[in-house]
Chains A and B, each alone.
Chain A
């Protein structure tokens, strides 16, 4: 009381107090205000943008913890590459707020190799992977050890307009090949829905084609900079033939060179749509467009699905694999609680709920049997089948370099030739050695 009067009377002490208060406020801001907080510790979960499903799970698991912790979500950028950039920078700087992270599987090795990720305790690893599908499990493993926990898994399907398939005389109950859909689109003067833009979607397409042809882009990713690039193979050349034909003959539509997943979906919904390889989000997005009034119900009724096209008629396809794994930062101050929260988030009930509400398929086999899932996604069985056959992208700490090099050499699709696989292989090797810019 006394000091208040004093400060009111004289200017100088008040100024000193203001400076002290400002300094204290700045210090609080710099330290993140967390140390002095009362109540349960707050876990930060860095999430990729979705329809709000991760925020709901964060709340449910916070409530279920019985006051042990509170999970607060923090939104990462929209695209996978920018998410990786932010996570890598924060992890490299030893950011203690990296409690839980939603990680895109191809970038897991890059973050696990320098020890940025905490390894899941044995009991957590066992409990969270007992019924995980093989592909997603592989994507969460590095150097033979589980370094993250699969949360949801994604795969691409072959979506088609029933009317177009019928007009082309294709029996869609049997496995379909790339050559067949190329021929069908050509004969019907329709467009194929593929992603030809210079982005991760191009690496996904190339990887799917190479793996389906029995090849691999990188054979020993663990070797890091010395990894063997094996794109210059029969499978690589067949992949170049498919992409080059679609590009040169204009079968991907006029916007192919800049077409991403969303743009190809819009084209597929149009009059010239026929076949499209894409992720399951297109089904919920099309239904939402009907609700908004921007798409006719008859279009959605005409959309059907089957597994990814084969490269060779007698060999099962290896569809692209995506999804999200959950990792815990090595610098996190609440690692035990974070693993506890991860265990709650990835439970098969939560995975089923997340699929039904947000359209992202589960990595747990059990979750596919949930009646809610079957009701919301009639193609759930096809997704499950596709996930079983799906192959991950190259697992290496240098995935970003390999993917960027593929994107640069395989776009625009109209310029892809039989020499592209060899040129890409040489380019990747030079980049990995540090002899070339990307």
Chain B
């Protein structure tokens, strides 16, 4: 019996889309048309403002072109890419960018989940206040928060050395921005403080989708809070976690403001986007700078593709499956 049903279902399956297309009602057709009409202008503008600069950057990256020497513009094909990829500065900056991305996303994920759990289990009366309080750092402009963190840690104006004077290595003369390690610590701490609320909100929506009965059943079966979190809640909100990770990883990989304000990339804190900025805007080497920007763009594309293809992240909604 079951075989019959199965074979019928299989036979019917390929016809399904054709049937659906044929049965498209007038209403559905006009809705689809309206959809295009509404989204069309935005789509065209998006193409103009994003595609045009991308194509222009690709074109410029094939030339040796300095803004203050327009007469010396010369076609070098992939020469700029060879210069960039064979230079230790590029690989050092890529390493710094990856370090910042991995550390900040991991820490934000853990803290964000903790905050999401607090918001989820908070009593209804305090929920609004709690969410607003948690969201405050995210509402602050990055440049402003970067300056606040910089002045707090700066050796001339800062007060953090005084607060942390009980730590063995930190005294009033400790200069946070004089070497890579402490500088990156402050940059990452500022980044984590600023964007953890974003991750916690995304995770909160995932948490809300976990059926309460599952957790309840596990509790009845004698599972501890930790077991319920690891075995029941987390596996059921995998999709939300993956979406949060991808969004933040793409964002963190392009980090610019915090580094620019706090160290300007000095003492081994330069990231790829800062290198692209310094080359294009600072040195006015449009060709070389465009090549770095294109490589940065390709890196971001790779992260997005790996997330979508390998981890099967559905960016269109929380219903996707994260494996």
Question: B-contacting residues of A (Cβ < 8 Å)?
Answer: 81, 85, 88-89, 92, 110-111, 113-114, 116, 197-198, 254-258, 263, 266-267, 397, 400-401, 404, 411-412, 434-438
Contact = CB atoms under 8 A, between A and B. Distances in A.
Interface stretch (B66-74, B138-146, B201-209, B247-255): B66-74
A404 B265 CA distance: 12
B245 interface: no
A81 B83 CA distance: 25
20 contacts: A85-B282, A85-B284, A88-B67, A110-B68, A198-B264, A198-B266, A198-B267, A255-B175, A255-B178, A257-B175, A257-B179, A266-B156, A397-B68, A404-B283, A412-B178, A412-B179, A436-B89, A437-B288, A438-B278, A438-B279
B147 interface: no
B178 A81 contact: no
Contacts of A266: 156
B83 A254 contact: no
Nearest to B265: A198
Contact of B267 (A85, A88, A92, A257): A257
Contacts of B288: 434, 437
A81 B284 CA distance: 12
Given A254-B175, A257-B177, A438 B283 contact: yes
Contact of A397 (B69, B70, B179): B69
Given A92-B68, A198-B266, A254-B175, A401 B83 contact: no
Given A255-B156, A400-B283, A114 B84 contact: no
Contacts of A85: 281-282, 284
Please provide the 9 A-B residue pairs with the shortest distance between their CB atoms, ordered closest to farther. Answer: A254-B173, A257-B178, A198-B266, A255-B155, A437-B89, A437-B87, A92-B67, A258-B177, A110-B68
Contacts of A263: 156
B267 A412 contact: yes
Contacts of A111: 68
Nearest to A264: B156
Nearest to B287: A434
A113 B70 CA distance: 11
B67 A437 contact: no
A30 B68 CA distance: 25
Nearest to B286: A92
Interface string B172-184: 0111011100000
A437 B282 contact: no
A257 B283 CA distance: 23
A258 B83 contact: no
B282 A254 contact: no
Contact of B175 (A116, A258, A401): A258
Contacts of B174: 254
Contacts of B155: 254-255, 258
B64 interface: yes
Contact of B68 (A113, A198, A257): A113
A256 B156 CA distance: 11
B175 to A, nearest CB: 5
A267 to B, nearest CB: 8
B71 A114 contact: yes
B90 interface: yes
Given A114-B70, A255-B178, 16 more contacts: A114-B68, A198-B266, A257-B175, A257-B179, A257-B267, A258-B175, A267-B156, A397-B68, A400-B284, A404-B283, A411-B266, A411-B267, A434-B288, A436-B83, A436-B89, A437-B84
Contacts of A110: 68
B212 to A, nearest CB: 53
Contacts of B175: 254-255, 257-258
B275 interface: yes
B185 to A, nearest CB: 15
Interface in B69-86: 69-71, 83-84
A111 B266 CA distance: 27
A238 to B, nearest CB: 25
A198 B173 CA distance: 19
B282 A113 contact: no
Nearest to B93: A437
Contacts of A113: 68-69
